[in-house]
Amino acid sequence: MGIKVLPLMALTSVVSVIGLAASPAIGQIDPEILREGAGARRDAVTAMELKPLDRDVWATFAQWTNGDPVTETDTIGKVVVFYTWSSFLNSSLQPMSALSRLAKEHGDDLVVIGVHHPEGWDDAEAKATRRRAAFPIAHDASGRFRELMKVDQDPDLYIVDRAGQLRYADGATSSVMGAVEKLIAESAGDAASTEERMAAASAKEAIANRRTRLLRQELELSELREVTFPTPSEEAYKDAKWPRMWTPDKLQDARSGRLTNREKDKPRTISLPPDEKWKPRAPEGLDGRLRLIYFMTVEQGAASGDWGAFYDEVIGASPNMRARLQAHDLLRIHDLSLDNHIRIHFPDHVI
């Protein structure tokens, strides 16, 4: 097995192979708050977000236990968590402790409602007591709540913001604490303007992306300009704080404490291949530039080890390769230029 330095390649065009693209997902508010589910059902519950909570929800609760009944009026200006669970399904009981802690900690700003499955109601109070649930439990006797909220499997969590909007539909249990704290930190006015803030942020991002695309279209990697760079002195190299770079044997010595600090910090010199080993040519104008080098392993029998042939066939975009890609509508060519980048980042540099 041999180690080779992969040549630095300057391209005047970029050839990209395009695979099958996935269907675009419906956008979500606050993507850092994880949701559950996938496919058409996930898209359907996502579409419910940032909409006022369906008022018919409040008529679905036939009975209450573990606390006083909660009305729509009781929740005005507060964050509300609807938590679906079943007394006969132990996995659905897991969020109960965390929700109880949140209910105690944010009692003036948060309302937690446990919504029990149509079946197993007779055991609901005992299970809630045993788990020391600190919030009231409602019985979804007809299953209407689950129908309205598109519940698929207990436990499901639905969180409503201070403006009465369903903010997170079927949120992940692991994200409930972050979701609740985020919404409690908002005012009702901030919550009501969420969609407007999202639109403004989206417009700003679109402008930034458009600017980036324009720069990329004009990027020409084959025409890198010279950069004025004073060569550091030997003393500067000696005083530099070099990162630790160890070979496997030295690493073993380092772990055992047999290396001195001087040995640990000693820089390693990398010799570049001679000019004839580069494709399509040896790089020029390296002074003042960061050099990123990939080391790749070529195994005997797994490949010919002829990187020149690999370059000519794939990276070099040979006519034969381009024709084959074009035949399958997989060829994309983007002309690039670097001048705009230089003007932005090196305004004093003469092009």
Domain boundaries, the chain: 2-17+220-345, 39-186
- Alpha-carbon distance values, 91 to 156, 177, 317 (Å): 11, 18, 55
> What's the CATH code, domain 39-186?
3.40.30.10
CA 101/CA 134 separation, integer angstroms: 8
Contact 187, 162 (CB under 8 A): yes
Among 168, 199, 204, CA closest to 186: 168
Average pLDDT over residues 267-291: 76
Q: Report pLDDT digits (tens) over 34-49.
A: 999 888 999 999 999 9
Q: What share of the chain is helix, strand, coil (3-state, %, to 5)?
A: 40, 15, 45
Q: Report pLDDT digits (tens) over 75-98.
A: 999 999 999 999 999 999 999 999
Q: Report pLDDT digits (tens) over 3-38.
A: 333 333 333 333 333 232 333 334 567 888 999 988
CA 80/CA 110 separation, integer angstroms: 6
Contact 62, 142 (CB under 8 A): yes
Contact 45, 37 (CB under 8 A): yes
Q: Report pLDDT digits (tens) over 167-208.
A: 999 999 999 999 999 999 999 999 998 888 888 877 777 777
Torsion of the alpha carbons at 30, 32, 33 and 35, rounded to the nearest 10: 100
